Amino acid sequence: MSQRFSGVKGMNDLLPPDIAVWHFLEARARETFRRFGYQEVRTPVVEDTALFRRSVGEETDIVGKEMYTFADRAGRSLSLRPENTAGAVRAYIEHSIHVREPLTRWYYLGPMFRYERMKTGRYRQFWQMGVEAFGSAAPAQDAEVIDLGLQLLDALQLRGVKLELNSLGDATCRPDYLEALTAYLQAHRSELCADCQARLDRSPLRVLDCKNPGCQAVVAGAPLVTDALCDACRDHFDAVRRALDALRAPYVLNPRMARGLDYYTRTTFEFLADAEALGTANAVGGGGRYDPLVKELGGPDVPAVGWAMGMDRIALLLAESGRQEGSGPELFVAVADAAAAERALRLASELRRAGHAVDIDTRGGSLKSQMKRADKSGAALVLVLGERELQSGEAELRPLQGGEPTRVLLDAVGEALAARAR
Ligand code: HAM
């Protein structure tokens, strides 16, 4: 008896031809990271559960409701990573990177896992690309990572993405702000949802990002963090804004942005699309400073700032704008007579070895069916090989998207393809 399986809910298969958008996205991302001197790190998809509890925070939805947590065979509590900052910081500390490289710039690409309610642009396995810069507390570093994000969005030719900016203060000014916020929220306790009532005292900032309309109405009147910044945090925030102005990076201030993770201090930001393709899942990226985190996780006192973007969401935007890398082969080799099959396969093999993208239908079949397949493959040229071509040692290179055919020696097809690419 055979049995059919479906993929896990919320986890997508990325298949051709849609994968072309992902290749485009990844290539542009790596190229942008290279220009900024960021180097790739790959950390495991599974980490100690306690790492996420300590960094992302016990009271966040991510840790409280969305992690895939399980015990391994030795009884250790492990979790699929819901994000990559925690893993990057863990690796940074574990390998004493600060000793070798006082200013460290990293990037990553990979799948993350959150057990979220699914909808367009929100999945349970999703992909992030992100950057983390360790070792500089300077406002210029905040500006650099934001500039990197904006240049990446430009390289992808994504228009209409808005940058929102905020500062969440630090250990000096945040406690007073949280006290004022808690007092305000207490006064409106009965208007808050059950979740927010429960977390109000332990984690009042989380109320700010609750999506419940009743909670949002209360939040609209809440004290603003940017009114409560200490002098040092205000100076830092002003300097970040001046640096962004100097880079001609447009932004909008949003003093109610709390971000859904606990580790942030000072600058926070989000990249928001207004495209219909994403509905309410319109955050294509977000990030900020997390200066105390490296020390809190047992490392040296090293400041850091970074962001992550949701690749699935960006892929949706790219698909909507019709942007794709041309992915068809340069040449389709069709076989007119069975006697030519072997020579055709050898020709394809040699051209492939020489670096050309070549397709051939290994099932053989009628010339008509092969030509149909050639059309569908998006090949630029087709070459038909039959007895006549075998005898003369010559064949026609026929453009599939219109244009005149040219005759070439079978031994010179590679040169003809190369000349075409120049
Ligand atoms: P985050 O805001 O939780 O931040 O996620 C960053 C981006 O990942 C979001 O803006 C969104 O585009 C995408 N994303 C999040 N959840 C999903 C989902 N369920 N489905 C599809 N896309 C999703 C972080 O993860 C931080 N680690 C960013 C950071 C890096 N902060 C400092 N360094």
Do strands 252-253 and 39-40 pair parallel, antiparallel, or not at all (unpaired)? unpaired
Q: What span, in angstroms and rounded, lies between the C-alpha atoms of 172 and 166?
A: 17
Q: What span, in angstroms and rounded, lies between the C-alpha atoms of 118 and 104?
A: 36
Looking at residue 280, what is its pLDDT? Answer: 83
Q: What span, in angstroms and rounded, lies between the C-alpha atoms of 266 and 226?
A: 10
Q: Pick from 242, 271, 243, 246: which is nearest to 257 by CA?
A: 271
Looking at residue 261, what is its pLDDT? Answer: 95
Tokens of 330: 């340069």
Q: Measure 222 CA to ligand 1 centroid, in angstroms.
A: 25
Do strands 394-399 and 406-409 pair parallel, antiparallel, or not at all (unpaired)? antiparallel
pLDDT in tens, 306-315: 999 999 999 9
* Nearest protein Cα to ligand 1, atom 30: 307
* Nearest protein Cα to ligand 1, atom 15: 310
Looking at residue 40, what is its pLDDT? Answer: 98
Q: What span, in angstroms and rounded, lies between the C-alpha atoms of 291 and 302?
A: 7
3-state class (DSSP) for residue 139: helix
Looking at residue 324, what is its pLDDT? Answer: 59
Task: Choose which residue among 259, 278, 313, 318 to substitute to test ligand 1 binding: the one with the highest number of ligand atoms within 8 A of its C-beta.
Answer: 313
Looking at residue 201, what is its pLDDT? Answer: 86
Q: Pick from 269, 263, 312: which is nearest to 112 by CA?
A: 312
Which residue type does 205 have?
L
pLDDT in tens, 137-183: 999 999 999 999 999 999 999 988 999 999 999 999 999 999 999 99
Atom of ligand 1 nearest to the CA of 124: 19
Atom of ligand 1 nearest to the CA of 83: 25
Q: How many CA atoms within 13 Å lie on the side-chain side of 256? A: 14
Atom of ligand 1 nearest to the CA of 289: 32
Looking at residue 326, what is its pLDDT? Answer: 61
* Nearest protein Cα to ligand 1, atom 8: 310
Which residue type does 270 have?
E
Looking at residue 62, what is its pLDDT? Answer: 96
Low-confidence ranges of the chain (pLDDT < 70): 323-326
Enumerate the β-bridge partners of residue 399.
Answer: 381
Q: Which residues line ligand 1 (CB under 6 A)?
A: 83, 85, 114, 116, 121-123, 126, 128, 130, 132, 260-261, 283-288, 306-310, 312-313
313 close to 23: Cβ distance less than 8 angstroms: no
Q: Pick from 344, 345, 305, 330: which is nearest to 400 by CA?
A: 330
* Nearest protein Cα to ligand 1, atom 23: 310
Q: Measure 285 CA to ligand 1 centroid, in angstroms.
A: 6
Q: What span, in angstroms and rounded, lies between the C-alpha atoms of 112 and 122?
A: 12
Total count of residues recorded for the chain: 422
* Nearest protein Cα to ligand 1, atom 17: 122
